[in-house]
Amino acid sequence: MNETSIIISGFGGQGTLFAGQVLAYASMDSGLEVTWIPSYGPEMRGGTAHCTVIISDETIGSPLVRNPDIVLALNLPSVDKYENRMPSGGILIANSSLVPREIQREDITSLLIPVNEIAEKIGLSRLGNMIMVGALIALKPILPLETVKKALEEHIPDRHKKTLPMNFKAMDTGFEFAKQAK
């Protein structure tokens, strides 16, 4: 595996930071090296928010990422910001509900997924982050999906435990969507 850098980016309130935390916890639980760095604008909900996660089987030299291997873009500004920063061979997964254009680059793997519509069908509009995580695991199996689900279950705040079945369904739905699109 070596080292994989992931940026999860969107508006505040879309769960970008929490999605990164779940991946970080799942990585730690699997005995991997990991960094998680959050970043958000002045207003949390509605402002910009992103996090950087680096997962490695060796010591991580620097937690800073200029050219991420993988980008989960929950909105158009995130696609605009990161699409051209990715190295050839990278993976860009974008929320087509909020990204009204095609991905321009042909030297990366890209997936447009209607996150908002899928989340509404499952029954909770805030599930977009877990749909994206499921799609990521399908396209780049850096961790087993069951390991990520277990990390979510262990680290979700108690007040949100009742949403676990919907979160698991969101991950599964994103995973299946990405598998079928491959």
Number of domains in the chain: 1
Alpha-carbon span 176 to 52, nearest angstrom: 25
The enclosing domain of 46 has a CATH number of 3.40.920.10
Q: Closest by alpha carbon to 132, among 95, 165, 102?
A: 95
Confidence (pLDDT) at 7: 97
Confidence (pLDDT) at 40: 73
Dihedral of CA atoms 132, 136, 139, 142 in degrees, nearest 10, equals: -160
Confidence (pLDDT) at 41: 66
pLDDT interval class at 182 (50, 70, 90)? confident
Confidence (pLDDT) at 119: 96
pTM, two decimal places: 0.94
pLDDT (tens digit, 9 = 90+) per residue, 118-164?
A: 999 999 889 999 999 999 999 999 999 999 999 999 988 899 899 99
pLDDT, mean of residues 12-30: 94
Q: Which domain holds residue 80?
A: 3-181
Dihedral of CA atoms 18, 92, 12, 17 in degrees, nearest 10, equals: 20
Q: Are 106 and 48 in contact (CB under 8 A)?
A: no
Confidence (pLDDT) at 46: 60
Q: Is pLDDT at 43 greater than 60 in this prediction?
A: no
pLDDT (tens digit, 9 = 90+) per residue, 110-124?
A: 999 999 999 999 998
pLDDT (tens digit, 9 = 90+) per residue, 90-103?
A: 999 999 999 999 99
Alpha-carbon span 107 to 21, nearest angstrom: 29
Residue whose tokens read 């873009």: 73
Sign of CA dihedral 153, 151, 160, 122: negative
pLDDT (tens digit, 9 = 90+) per residue, 52-93?
A: 999 999 999 888 899 999 999 999 999 999 999 999 999 999
Share of the chain above pLDDT 90, in %: 82
